[in-house]
Amino acid sequence: MAEAITLFDGSTLKGWRAAPRLPTPVRADDPPLPTNTDAYRRALGHLGRWTVEDGAICGRQDPPGSGLGAYLVSEGAFGDFELELEARPDWPADTGIMLRATAEGTTGYQVLVDHRKSGNIGGFYGNGIGRFHAINFNVDVERDDAGRPLRLRIEDLSTTIEPIHDWKPALLARKATGEEFLKAWKWGDWNAFRIRMVGALPTITVWINGLLVAELDTATMTYPDFDGAAVLRKLGTAGHIAFEVHDNDPRMGAERWAPEAACRWRNIRVTPL
């Protein structure tokens, strides 16, 4: 095994660049979306607000409350690797870790860090490569009498806006229960992620605070809009790592990303395999 490569020096954004969160097609072999739309032009002008604060990368919408997201993309590209980092998202903040992403950051495998109602943490989404949603639970938040968020809870299925259909957990090769996840997750604190990605059509495994939360074998996964051969043509066997600031939408508005919300990342290192 090669030596670990530090991707964040703790004080600057050297080795990273901001990119807009542009619309993506559904499937890897779909033609590019038109660039002459109002939505595309509006997204193109926003790169997010990426700062270094107290030894951590902080990602926010820019300007706050604009509802427009962005990515922070590594300059380096990686094939098979183990990625270790710590994350501390506000509530609500819909973020994620892009793997083998294109240089724009918009297309690739995403490890979800959807720290908001009906969100999942540690599962997977296929950005521009089929939009598969491989998860085993959704989270919500408990609040005190004044309405302040206190801790995560497993979401009441009767109130969810993103139902967990049977096919979603069935995509996972291995998975933790929501209750196991809650015992591992640290509210309002740093959470350690370890992500292992191996193979041309990769097997991706996610541990959070030592708990195996989810594993996806894309070489054997069956999903209508995921075409492994097309994904390999699109992404190849190596790509960038990126962090996401999600945009808002009419369905969730600021419940997806609050106006002043941030996600923080630190101790980021990758070990090539």
Helix residue spans in 124-270 (DSSP H): 167-170, 178-184, 228-235
Across 138-273, the runs of DSSP E, i.e. the strands, are 139-143, 149-154, 174-175, 191-198, 203-208, 211-217, 239-245, 263-272
* Residue located via tokens 């960038």: 240
**Domain 5-272, what fold?**
Jelly Rolls (2.60.120)
Residue from 6, 49, 44 nearest 261 by CA = 49
What is the spatial distance between Cα 190 and Cα 188, in angstroms, rounded to a whole number?
A: 7
Q: Percentage helix, strand, coil, to 5, in the chain?
A: 10, 40, 50
Q: What is the pLDDT along the chain (273 residues), one digit of tens a residue?
A: 689 999 999 999 999 999 999 999 999 999 999 999 998 998 998 999 999 999 999 999 999 999 999 999 999 999 999 999 999 999 999 999 999 999 999 999 999 999 999 999 999 999 999 999 999 999 999 999 999 999 999 999 889 999 999 999 999 999 999 999 999 999 999 999 999 999 999 999 999 999 999 999 999 999 999 999 999 999 999 999 999 999 999 999 999 999 999 999 999 999 999
Kindly list the domain boundaries of the chain, sorted by start residue.
Answer: 5-272
